[in-house]
């Protein structure tokens, strides 16, 4: 598979270079409104929301890592973001430059309005795989996992929290290597 066959959309405030795939730096460039054609779209956290609000072909394969499934008030997400930073942590070297943070807050606020579950229902279920960090108690929690299972979405749980780690990366590599391309 070629690099252009995969489009990565990073989690909040992170650079795409942290993930090992080509993609779009939606937290740095405020001119990105749509995504390019790819066989696989990988969206981490609010990166999944960006994919779902865009013009991605429903015939592509989608891998969503810890998506924000439940609609909640922005304040609740802000509190969970603080809890995530305190209890799980975040390497500052993974963050976009400070000069981009104004855009990050605007982008995050807009993406929190995306009804992830409703938009996922518009895509054939066989084209969606969700990877959930077993210890994600902040955004894609146990209740979210129950909602996804009840909706008959394919859910893979790995040893991870909310942030991307080697277990998430391995699960994605296995999926991409073992799935038929559209």
Using DSSP bridges, classify how beta strands 40-44 and 61-65 pair: parallel, antiparallel or unpaired.
parallel
CATH at residue 29: 3.40.50.1820
Q: What is the residue-wise DSSP string for 2-47?
A: -GGGEEEEPPTTB-GGGTTS-B--TTT-TT--S----SEEEEETHH
Find residue 158's DSSP bridge partners: 133
Instruction: Tell me the CA distances in angstroms from 81 to 63, 152, 164, one per residue in order.
Output: 22, 28, 15
pLDDT at 180: 47
Residue in the structure block whose two tokens are 């146990």: 142
Residue 65, both tokens: 């890592």
The C-alpha atoms of residue 77 and residue 125 are separated, in whole angstroms, by 27
pLDDT at 62: 97
Question: Considering only CA atoms, which of 70, 35, 38, 37 is closest in space to residue 140?
Answer: 70
**Distance between the two ends of the chain, CA-based, in angstroms?**
12
Question: Considering only CA atoms, which of 76, 11, 15 is closest in space to residue 48?
Answer: 11
The C-alpha atoms of residue 133 and residue 145 are separated, in whole angstroms, by 10
How many other CB atoms sit within 10 Å of the CB of residue 34? 10
What are the pLDDT tens digits along the chain (182 aa)? Answer: 666 789 999 999 999 999 999 999 999 988 887 788 899 999 999 999 999 999 788 899 999 999 999 888 888 888 888 888 888 887 888 899 999 999 999 999 999 999 999 999 999 999 999 999 999 999 999 999 999 999 999 999 999 999 999 999 999 999 998 554 44
pLDDT at 24: 95
pLDDT at 2: 64
The C-alpha atoms of residue 89 and residue 65 are separated, in whole angstroms, by 17
pLDDT at 1: 60
The C-alpha atoms of residue 126 and residue 15 are separated, in whole angstroms, by 29
- Domain hosting residue 95, numbered range: 3-178
Per-residue HEC secondary structure of 80-95 comes to: HHHHHHHHCCCCHHHE
pLDDT at 178: 59
Count of structural domains, the chain: 1
């Amino acid at each position: 598979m070629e690099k252009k066959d995969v489009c990565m959309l990073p989690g909040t405030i992170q650079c795409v270079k942290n993930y090992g795939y080509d993609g779009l730096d939606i937290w740095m460039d405020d001119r990105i409104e749509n995504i390019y054609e790819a066989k696989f779209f990988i969206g981490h956290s609010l990166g999944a929301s960006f994919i779902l609000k865009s013009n991605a072909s429903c015939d592509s394969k989608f891998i969503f890592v810890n998506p924000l499934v439940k609609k909640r008030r922005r304040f609740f997400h802000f509190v969970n973001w603080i809890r995530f930073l305190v209890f799980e942590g975040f390497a500052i070297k993974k963050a976009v430059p400070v000069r981009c943070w104004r855009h990050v807050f605007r982008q995050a606020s807009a993406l929190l309005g995306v009804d992830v579950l409703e938009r996922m229902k518009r895509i054939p279920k066989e084209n969606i795989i969700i990877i959930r960090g077993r210890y994600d108690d902040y955004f894609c929690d146990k209740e979210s996992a129950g909602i996804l299972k009840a909706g008959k979405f394919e859910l893979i749980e790995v040893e991870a929290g909310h942030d991307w780690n080697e277990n998430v990366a391995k699960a994605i590599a296995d999926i991409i290597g073992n799935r038929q391309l559209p």
